[in-house]
Amino acid sequence: MELEEMQAVWADLSSQLEKQKKLTDKMIIMMTQEKYKKKWNRIAYPEILGTIICYGVAILILINIGKLDNWYTLLSGLISVVVLLILPVLSLRSIFRMRKLNIAENDYKDTLMQYAKGKKRFQSSMKLGYYLGFILMFAIMPVTTKLLNNKDLFTETTKIWPFLISIPLAVVFMIFFSKWVYKSYNRNIIEAENLIKDLEE
Amino acid sequence: MSKESVFTQIIKDNEGVIFKITTVYTDNREDQKDLYQEIVYQLWKAFDRFRGDSKISTWMYRVALNTAITRLKKEKRKGNQVGIDKVIMKQTEYYDTEFEEKLKILYSHIQGLNELEKGLMLLLLEGKKYEEIASITGLSASNVGTKISRIKSKLKSQIVKN
């Protein structure tokens, strides 16, 4: 399809749409009401829920920190707390940055530039979040064993075989998964970089 | 005339334009509806600050395109999108199949462009002059010209591929 033909199809579409106007005054006013905020919340709520869970677990570990009575479970506990506190911040930060954008004042170029930068930042923080999740997976194991069963994972474990199977499996899975995540995030970051270059030309 | 009635009239006059923008920037019906509402909401929010320095259509395109872009950013967080076919099939009531097919091809070409090019292509199809495209996008008119000729060659190569 040549550009001229595309323009003709577009013009046809425009005249078709012109003929079938559907919006009423009431509908337009409705659209400007609180509904929008509800929609935005649909995106923010899962993030906020995730934050509550992460912070809840972190607080639980901190309250029971005294029960982590040797240096390695204590260290695992502290690492878990740090990761649990950082993870939600990474995700929520990008939502709040997005909210700050001034749609009415910026031109398309500025918005695209911020979009590309935001996309790059978001992908990088997701990547970081992924690696932190990997660390958390291992760090939280001795902590939960201690807090839930009052057992030291390293000295009081009688059966080793479940760990011999599950840990290598988890590691292999995480390695393959991380490679896949890295690839897809990288592709997005490169796209965003290209867009920034294109706009700066 | 009250502020509300001026605003609703502007939206009614331009509902087709908003519809076309939402079709270019979304790939399923629900997102399209959401984006439509979001654009109207953002236009309402921005309406107070519109001083008439630019044409109303320039202002409208700018706000609508900016909203679509910021929306894209949110959508990247989701995933699992439905293909564009589902949108086009239902978009107006009076389509004949031949026209629908042509429209599908047109949208598939637009979908092959990046975010910046999509906006430029949309404005070009809307019949905007380079100067107006420049004032909507914030690019210089010469830059708009360069980018549009790049889009044209990209489209040509897409056509050759198909």
pLDDT at B86: 39
pLDDT at residue A137 in the model? 86
Q: Which helix (H) or strand (E) holds B67?
A: helix B56-75
Q: Which pLDDT value is given to residue B81?
A: 43
Distance separating alpha carbons of residues B151 and B122, to the nearest angstrom = 11
Q: Determine the pLDDT at residue A101.
A: 65
CA B63/CA B42 separation, integer angstroms: 7
Note the pLDDT of residue A84. 94
Which of B7, B116, B139, B147 is most worth mutating to test chain A (most A CB atoms within 10 A of its CB)?
B116
CB–CB contact B109 A110 (8 Å): no
Is the fold of B1-90 the same as that of B112-162?
A: no
pLDDT number for residue A33: 66
For B52: left if phi > 0, alpha if psi spans -120 to 50, otherwise beta; the answer is left
| Distance of alpha carbon A59 from alpha carbon A20, whole angstroms | 57
| Binary contact (B40, A32; C-beta < 8 A) | yes
Q: Does B79 touch chain A (CB under 8 A)?
A: no
* pLDDT of res. A35: 54
Cα–Cα distances in Å, from A187 out to A81, A122, A182, A183? 32, 13, 9, 6
Neighbour tally for B162: CB within 10 Å: 9
Please name the residues between 27 and 86 in chain A that touch chain B, using a CB distance below 8 Å: 28-29, 31-32, 35-36, 39, 43
For B50, the token pair is 């519109």
Distance of CA B31 to the CA centre of its chain: 14
pLDDT at A129: 83
Of the partner residues A19, A43, A103, the one whose CB lies closest to the CB of residue B77:
A43
Closest residue, chain B, to A3 (C-alpha): B152
- Rounded to whole angstroms, how far apart are CA atoms A134 and A47? 19
Joined together, the tokens standing for residue A178 give 């991380």
The Cβ of residue A45 has, within 10 Å, a number of other Cβ atoms equal to 11
Residues in chain B with pLDDT values less than 50: 79-90
A110-141, pLDDT tens digit by residue? 888 887 887 778 778 877 888 888 889 889 98
Question: What integer pLDDT is reported at residue A63 of this predicted model?
Answer: 94
Query: What are the boundaries of each domain within chain A?
Result: 23-200
pLDDT of A36 strictly over 60: no
A105 to chain B, any CB pair closer than 8 A? The answer is: yes
pLDDT at B79: 46
Instruction: Please give the angle made by the CA atoms of A94, B82 and A35, to the nearest 5 degrees.
Output: 55
Q: What is the rounded CA–CA span in Å between residue A113 and residue A128?
A: 23
Which pLDDT does position B104 carry in this prediction? Answer: 85
**DSSP per-residue letters across A48-79:** HHHHHHHHHHHHHHHHTGGG--SHHHHHHHHH
Q: How far apart are CA A146 and CA A140, in angstroms?
A: 10
Q: What is the pLDDT of residue B82?
A: 39
**Measured at the alpha carbon of residue B42, what is the angle toward residues B40 and B46, in degrees to the nearest 5?**
115
Burial of A146 (0-12, 13-18, 19+ CB in 10 A): buried
More confident residue, A10 or A97: A10
Position B27 scores a pLDDT of 80
* Predicted complex ipTM: 0.79
Question: Residue ranges per domain, chain B?
Answer: 1-90, 112-162
* B104 touching A (Cβ < 8 Å): no
Interatomic CA distance for residues B139 and A109, integer angstroms: 7
Instruction: Compute the C-alpha angle A19/A22/A25, nearest 5°.
Output: 130
| Fold for the domain defined by B112-162 | Arc Repressor Mutant, subunit A (1.10.10)
Of the candidate CATH numbers 1.10.1740.10, 2.40.10.10, 1.10.3720.10, 2.70.98.60, the domain formed by B1-90 belongs to: 1.10.1740.10
pLDDT, tens digit, for every residue of A58-81?
Answer: 999 999 999 888 898 999 999 999
- Check residues A3 and B74 and name the one with the higher pLDDT: A3
pLDDT at A190: 78
Q: Do A108 and B93 touch (CB under 8 A)?
A: no
Residue among B35, B31, B74 nearest A118 (CA): B74
Our CA-based measurement puts residue B83 at a distance from the nearest CA of chain A, in whole angstroms, of 19
